[in-house]
Structure 1
């Protein structure tokens, strides 16, 4: 006997939703990381110094920090699906503005892209919590993997597109527009669904603020430290390697190894996550993997490729766990959005400050020893926090106990 028609319809709907989720995830890194390979071209085009060019990477992180709290309340106003569609539209508009030509629109478009991505970052865990509550961790690993692979692909084609002729840097930047267009097409049919805005608003007003939960802050600090360490590594690894007597070409290749290694944990966590009773040991081990990588770069830089793999695996896996916590530690999509807004605001504010802070410490100390030691200490703190954030608890219970 075949399945009832309504079961088949429900299964088809969930598959289509999952497809839409992955298309959305493709927009959560690539539209702004695709500018990184073009920084030298943009510096020459607009006569930018290094700090001005670096803003093209820092601006989206600042947008993540400041827009995340606002994003968390959007579903209560317009519904979850409409909020995610809005994020894609904003990303698309930002890509168009960034590609217009003047340097002012280059920065404005970059900030707009960051605002759109921030909304998607905050609210995507709510979709998983609402529609796939039993598959949060493996699906989070999947969408983080999709994010990384898409970012790598778009970055790979950016430079070849940009060097076709004198103005093709605009084409290279505009090429990312295909991502929000595809995702918008997938999300538009979901606008026919009943809005959950009223229900979300009633639920949210009946609960104490999320920041009153100790567990919420444990998840927030874990995500914040992971973001801090990851963006420090992404920003300064080439300089660290060149100071250790690697050539510029070797340093560039190893930077690619770092980006690739951050995607590898997803392949491991996808099958393992459903079998975990909690995530304490995984959070601790991934944090200590970051520490091993940092101390290895300091003490035995000749084996840098090994230490980069340790660092990338820990930072990438830590991000997957942290994003999983946003759903696993909450009871419904409303709390998931609130926790996501809190933790990502804090996390990306730390991420935006990390490269500058570590660069300043390098300048005043005259070497990479003190910055690497500081980051190694922070990774140990991250491990300790991970032991608390990884417990099999939920924030609603935690808040009731605290009140």
Structure 2
């Protein structure tokens, strides 16, 4: 892809297909672990804390690796940087199930890092190559991301049962979509001149901007809830009496519900005076869904996981939308994206870890549920600041 993509319909279509295939691979490495977590833990004798670390590592490295994205883009060009990330992701997904405990954790680290880099690069491609359709494509890109997450959450346990009841090939299966995406991405780049990104010009630091920090905290706190759900909700539901397949299916249904609000929440919010009301609505749905899933009646869980999905899909898409609309130009938006995702995902990594520690200390999910409610309330507070109709770096 290049800046001329939009002038060539066939290239534009191939570019969109490539973007969607890459987006599909930005969550399976994370959501495929949760349904298999109990089996993995039993197989490798992992404690609750170690299982919490396993669910935390990819989220932590989403944040730690995000600042590498601009450097890779300047060195390789955005397109080749995405290709390199896909190849490393596929290798990490191949290695982590078959190299013992150390390989499981190291492979998970690399997978999380690759996803973090790609997550910063793709929005920049959308803004650069499709500027007049950036909002719509951001929603579609988010929907594809949710679809990939749902597929991995819903099919990993059935795959394990199908593949000789061994969790290793079921976990390794998710390298296949990464390889397909890499081939499709390489095919559209083959023989094409792609520019490297120019060196950035020093600008006023976002780290001294109050609004930028409110956006980063909102990104981090709502993401903390999301990755806690990816990693632990299947186990929570199993402890409530669901079998492993139904628990994974419930998470898959929840993530599929995210697709609805991932597209509609930013669209509806664009007709409002600012984004605070929409953020409050989606976070209320998120908290209600979480509370119902943990404390509500077991027979009502399917209602609560749908409410949870509607809330989280809208919450995440609103976070991505804020990265674009709170900046006056594309360069500031890119810097805000890097800052918010780096800090936000690093903070979000603490959610799954703390939940695992709390569960290990108490033996149930009651106290852990209170912790999640507090995280959600923090996201509401940050969102009320980030949702105001202001711009970062405005004095």
Query: The TM-score by the shorter chain falls in which range?
Result: 0.7 to 0.9
With over 3 angstroms needed to count, the CA separation of the structure-2 counterparts of 1:307 and 1:155, relative to structure 1, is closer
How many residue pairs match? The answer is: 387
Distance in structure 1 (CA, Å) of the matches to 2:235 and 2:178: 34
- Check whether the contact 1:93–1:112 (CA below 8 A) recurs between aligned residues: no
1:304 Cα offset (Å): 4.2
With over 3 angstroms needed to count, the CA separation of the structure-2 counterparts of 1:287 and 1:169, relative to structure 1, is closer
Residue in 1 that maps onto 2:350: 353
1:358-389: CA deviation from partner (whole Å, max 9, x where unpaired): 45556777875555445434434423332332
- Check whether the contact 2:52–2:352 (CA below 8 A) recurs between aligned residues: no
With over 3 angstroms needed to count, the CA separation of the structure-2 counterparts of 1:361 and 1:84, relative to structure 1, is same
Distance in structure 2 (CA, Å) of the matches to 1:8 and 1:217: 34
Q: 2:69 aligns to what SS in structure 1?
A: helix
Residue in 1 that maps onto 2:93: 95
Residue in 1 that maps onto 2:189: 190
Q: Which runs of 5+ in 1 are unaligned?
A: 1-5
Residue in 2 that maps onto 1:323: 320
1:155 Cα offset (Å): 4.2
Select which of 106, 122, 125 maps to 1:124.
122
Residue 385 (str. 1) matches residue 382 (str. 2): yes
Distance in structure 1 (CA, Å) of the matches to 2:132 and 2:291: 37
1:282 Cα offset (Å): 1.3
Q: Which segment drifts farther, 361-370 or 25-34? A: 361-370
Residue in 2 that maps onto 1:3: none
Residue in 1 that maps onto 2:34: 36
Residue 217 (str. 1) matches residue 216 (str. 2): no
Structure 1-normalised TM-score?
0.81
Residue in 2 that maps onto 1:19: 17
Residue in 2 that maps onto 1:173: 171
Q: 1:248 aligns to what SS in structure 2?
A: coil
Q: Which has the larger radius of gyration?
A: 1
1:36-60: CA deviation from partner (whole Å, max 9, x where unpaired): 3333443454344444344432221
Give the 5 Å matches for 1:2-401. 9-164=7-162, 169-188=167-186, 189-190=188-189, 192-198=192-198, 201=199, 204-237=200-233, 246-249=240-243, 252=247, 254-269=250-265, 272=268, 275=271, 278-294=274-290, 296=292, 301=297, 303-360=300-357, 371-395=368-392, 399-401=393-395
With over 3 angstroms needed to count, the CA separation of the structure-2 counterparts of 1:234 and 1:27, relative to structure 1, is closer
1:237-286: CA deviation from partner (whole Å, max 9, x where unpaired): 4666677xx42339826444433333331353476466556433211211
Distance in structure 2 (CA, Å) of the matches to 1:118 and 1:340: 11
1:88 Cα offset (Å): 1.0
Distance in structure 2 (CA, Å) of the matches to 1:159 and 1:213: 45
Q: Which segment drifts farther, 216-225 or 250-259? A: 250-259
With over 3 angstroms needed to count, the CA separation of the structure-2 counterparts of 1:106 and 1:390, relative to structure 1, is same
Q: Which runs of 5+ in 2 are unaligned?
A: none
With over 3 angstroms needed to count, the CA separation of the structure-2 counterparts of 1:355 and 1:83, relative to structure 1, is same
Q: 1:197 aligns to what SS in structure 2?
A: coil
1:144 Cα offset (Å): 2.0
Distance in structure 2 (CA, Å) of the matches to 1:59 and 1:131: 33
Q: Which segment drifts farther, 163-172 or 312-321? A: 163-172
Distance in structure 1 (CA, Å) of the matches to 2:358 and 2:154: 32
Q: Which structure has more helix as a fraction of its residues?
A: 1
1:126 Cα offset (Å): 1.2
